[in-house]
Chains A and B, each alone.
Chain A
């Protein structure tokens, strides 16, 4: 997957527990994104980062936080997981700035909140 690794790939957790998903890239791309994909909703942007310690909210950011302390790592945290956060989460990277925001995606992390 073009130098993007997501972990864990699968996780089952209980309501109210904290969860952290990790995205690691070896492409040295400036931009990193977290999306969630749900049936009937397509891919929706949660948060994105345009540099180390520079992050911003997407359209569905409530209940999620992110951190980027190194260029290669972008963490997504659910402070207190809820059943509505059961989804497949995709990390993506891009070299935005060329005028074409082509996204390269990871393989996804499937999260089930019971």
Chain B
């Protein structure tokens, strides 16, 4: 059974304090790993797709990396507007996506 575990569940940072979120996975036949951002009361919004170990993607203060067993979402010098829940999902050769429970990030000014 495909499993996705995100840690920590919640993360509180001061503005400008860099950190990383973790997504570890156990799947058979990884086709892609996805990161989404979800704001309160809204649906998840796509951030990145990673396909193979060693791949990296960047967008503003966010950088996602992928190994054979986990992915990291690095947040550099975060701002209060980066506060959200970040979801990781894996898409497998079976054609379906499995989501982690998410990490809720709070960035205080």
Please classify the interface of chain A as helix (H, G, I), strand (E, B), loop, or mixed, using the class held by over half of its residues. Answer: loop
With A1-B43, A105-B44, A105-B45 in contact, is A99–B101 under 8 Å at CB?
no
CA distance A87 to B24 in the complex (A): 26
Query: Is A102 on the interface with B (CB-CB < 8 A)?
Result: yes
* Chain B residues, Cβ within 8 Å of A102: 34, 46, 49
B23 → chain A, closest Cβ, in Å?
Answer: 11
Q: Which residues of A contact B87 (CB under 8 A)?
A: 42-43
The B interface is mostly helix, strand or loop, or mixed, namely: strand
Q: Which residues of B contact A1 (CB under 8 A)?
A: 43
Find out whether the CB atom of A45 lies under 8 angstroms from the CB atom of B46. no
Contact A90:B95 (CB < 8 A) given known A101-B31, A101-B32: no
In the complex, the answer to whether A101 meets B91 with C-beta atoms within 8 Å is yes
Q: Which residues of B contact A100 (CB under 8 A)?
A: 31-32, 49, 51, 91
B59 adjacent to chain A (CB < 8 Å)? no
- Whether A99 contacts B43 by the Cβ 8 Å rule is no
Kindly list chain B residues whose C-beta atoms are within 8 Å of the C-beta of A44. 99
Contact mask for chain A residues 92-114; partner B; CB cutoff 8 A; 1 contact, 0 none: 10001001111111111000000
User: A44-70: contact bitstring with B at CB < 8 Å (1 yes, 0 no)?
Assistant: 110010000000001000000000000
Indicate if the CB atoms of B101 and A103 lie closer than 8 Å: no
Q: Which residue of A lies closest to B102 (CB)?
A: A42
Nearest B residue (CB) for A33:
B97
B residues near A40, Cβ cutoff 8 Å: 101
User: Which residue of the partner chain B has the closest CB to A4?
Assistant: B43
- In the complex, besides A41-B101, A107-B41, A108-B43, 14 extra interface pairs with C-beta distance below 8 angstroms are A40-B101, A43-B44, A58-B96, A96-B95, A100-B51, A101-B32, A101-B34, A101-B97, A102-B34, A102-B46, A103-B97, A105-B45, A107-B42, A107-B43
